[in-house]
Amino acid sequence: MFHLNVLPREPAWRVAGLRADKPFYSRSEQTNIFPVMADTPSKTDCVVGVDFGGTKLYAGVFSDKMEIVGSARKSTKPQRSVEAVIERITKVVQEAVDEADLTLKQIKGVGIGAPGAVDGEAGNVIFAPNLPGWKDVPLKKALEKSLGVPVFVENDCNISMLGVYVTELKSKPKNAFGIFLGTGIGGGIIINGELYSGFNHTAGEIGHMVLDPAGPKCGCGNKGCYEALASRTAIFKRIQQAVKDGEKTILTEILGDDLEDMRSGSLRKALRKGDKLVEQVIREAAEYTGIAVANLANILAPEAIVLGGGVIEALADEMLSIIIETANDCAMPGVMNGVEVFPSKLGDLAGITGGAVLARKLAK
Ligand SMILES: [Zn+2]
C-alpha cells in the first residue's frame, strides 16, 4: 500500500462534518455491533483522484491518511465521442471505488485533472488540443450526474503540480513551477503557495510556448510549440520519420518496422544499448526542455522547477543533466542561481494524488 502522509491530520469528526461530542459509526453500523468513537479514521472519509490523460485514465481512492486504498486504469480512447470518454471516466472511478470495497455513496468527492484549458469554477473543459471534440464540455456536471458525487475539475498539470506541492515539496517554497512531459506537455504554477491559473483559467500552458516558429505543427493549430518539439508524441514522430528516411535504430528490432508499440520505456532500453538515433532525439527534447526552463526562470524566478510526466519518469537519468546545462546556458546570467530543478518522485501518481488533494480541499 502506498502511504503518503501528506495532509495535516484533521480530527475525523471534523472531516466527517460531525460533532465531537457524539460517536459515529463505521460501516458496521448496519449491524450496530461496533460503535466507533469519533477519532477512529473511517473509510467514508475517502476521496477519489482521477488522472484524465490523452492516452490513459487512472483513478485512485485515497483514505483520510492519503493512503491509496483502491485504484483502476483504462485507456482513454479519445477518438470515440465525448460522451463515450465521459462514460469511460465514470467506469474507471466506479472500478477504483469497487477495488477499495466501497460504494460511491461513501465517497466525499472526486477531483479530476483534464488535459487542456479548464474553468475550474464551472467545471468545464474549455478546449483540449489532444482530445477531438472537447470544446466547452461541462465535465463536472456530466460526472456528478453519472456518479452522484461532488466532482471538482482542474487542468491536469495544475492538479499534478498541486499533488507534487502538497506531498513532495516539504520545504513549501513560495513559488514553484511544474513541467509535465507526457503525450503532451503542460505546466502548473504555484505563486505564494497557491495554484495560479490566470484570470481566464488558462495559465501554465507551457507546452504551447513557441520555441521554433518554423517548427512542426502543434495540436493547438500553431507551429513550433514546445509540445510539438519535445512531447512523447513529438519524440515518436521524429523517430518514425527518421526510420522512414532510412536511418537505423535498434527500436525496429525490438518493435518491428512500424514502431507501433513505442513507449517511453522502449526509448530507455534503446538508449542504454547505445542507439544513436534515439540518443539524438532525446538530447534535442532535453535541450528544448532546458530552453523552456530558462524562459520560465527568466520570467518567474521560482525557487523550484519540478519535472514530471511519463517521459521524465522513464528518462530522467538521461535527460536531467542536459536540461540543467541548457537552462544555465540560456537563462539570463544569475537567474538560475539557487533555482532547484529536479524530477518529481511521484511519477504517475502525481495526477491522482493532486485530484485527491483538490477533492479533499473542496468537498464539503
Ligand atoms: Zn501548441
Nearest CA to 159 out of 207, 118, 218, 192 is that of 118
pLDDT at position 123 is: 94
Q: What percent of the chain has pLDDT over 90?
A: 68
Could you report the per-residue pLDDT of 234-283, keeping only the tens digit for each?
999 999 999 999 999 988 888 877 777 788 888 998 999 999 999 999 99
What is the CA(231)–ligand 1 centre distance, in A? 11
How far apart CA 184 and CA 342 sit, in angstroms, is 19
Residue 42: per-residue pLDDT = 55
First to last CA, the chain: 27
Q: Is the pLDDT of residue 21 over 70?
A: no
Most confident of 8-22, 39-53, 237-251: 237-251
CA atoms of 226 and 245, how far apart (whole Å): 24
Residues whose CB is less than 8 angstroms from the CB of residue 86 and which lie 6 or more positions away in sequence, other chains included: 137, 139, 142, 143, 146
Q: Give residue 42 CA to ligand 1 midpoint distance, Å.
A: 44
206 CA distance to ligand 1 centroid (A)?
A: 9
The residue among 207 and 4 whose pLDDT is bigger is 207
Burial class (CB in 10 A: 0-12, 13-18, 19+), 74: middle
Among 29-43, 168-182, 286-300, the minimum mean pLDDT is found in 29-43
CA of 96 to the centre of ligand 1 (A): 33
Torsion of the alpha carbons at 140, 146, 150 and 153, rounded to the nearest 10: -30
Helix (H, G, I), strand (E, B) or coil at 87: helix
Model's pTM, two decimal places?
0.80
Over the stretch 85-129, which tens digit does the pLDDT of each residue have?
Answer: 999 999 999 999 999 999 999 999 999 999 888 998 899 999 887
What is the predicted pLDDT for the residue at 164?
Answer: 94
Q: Which residues of 283-294 are buried (b: 16+ CB within 10 A; e: fewer)?
A: ebbbbbbbbbbb
How crowded is residue 241: how many other Cβ atoms within 10 Å of its Cβ?
A: 11
Asked whether the predicted pLDDT for residue 156 surpasses 60, the reply is: yes
Q: Are strands 124-127 and 304-308 parallel, antiparallel or unpaired?
A: unpaired
User: Which of 283, 133, 120, 146 shows the shortest CA–CA distance to 204?
Assistant: 120
CA of 89 to the centre of ligand 1 (A): 25
pLDDT at 54: 85
Torsion angles phi and psi, residue 315, rounded to 5: -125, 20
Sole residue written with cell 485530484: 355
**In this predicted model, what pLDDT tens digit does every residue of 208-230 receive, in sequence order?**
999 999 999 998 899 999 999 99
What is the pLDDT of the chain when averaged over all its residues? 86
The alpha carbon of 30 and the centre of ligand 1 are apart by a number of angstroms equal to: 54
The CA–CA distances, whole Å, from 19 to 30, 119, 360 equal 20, 34, 19
Give the Cα separation of 308 and 284 in Å (integer): 18
Range among 14-28, 36-50, 103-117 rated most confident: 103-117
Confidence of residue 364 (pLDDT cuts 50, 70, 90): confident
Q: What percent of the chain has pLDDT over 70?
A: 88
SS3 assignment, position 171: coil
Backbone dihedral angles phi then psi of residue 267, each to the nearest 5 degrees: -65, -40
60's CB contacts (< 8 A; 6+ apart) are 48, 49, 50, 68, 70, 71, 96, 349, 352, 353, 355, 356
The packing angle between helices 264-272 and 276-300, to 10°, is: 120
Task: Output the CA 32–ligand 1 centroid distance in Å.
Answer: 58
Centre of ligand 1 from the C-alpha of residue 100, in Å: 39
Cα of 229 to ligand 1 centre, how many Å?
Answer: 10
Phi, psi of 237 (to 5 degrees): -60, -45
269 Cα: distance to centroid of ligand 1 (angstroms): 29
- Which pLDDT score, from 0 to 100, does residue 128 have? 87
What three-state secondary structure class fits 257?
coil
Residue 7 has pLDDT above 90, yes or no: no
Q: How far apart are CA 334 and CA 132, in angstroms?
A: 43
Q: How far is the CA of 149 from the centre of ligand 1 (A)?
A: 34
Q: How many helices (H) and strands (E) does the chain have?
A: 11, 15
The pLDDT value recorded for residue 43 is 52
Q: Whose grid coordinates read 480512447?
A: 77
Q: What is the pLDDT of residues 168-204, one digit of tens each?
A: 988 889 999 999 998 889 999 999 998 998 888 788 8
The grid coordinates of residue 322 equal 542536459
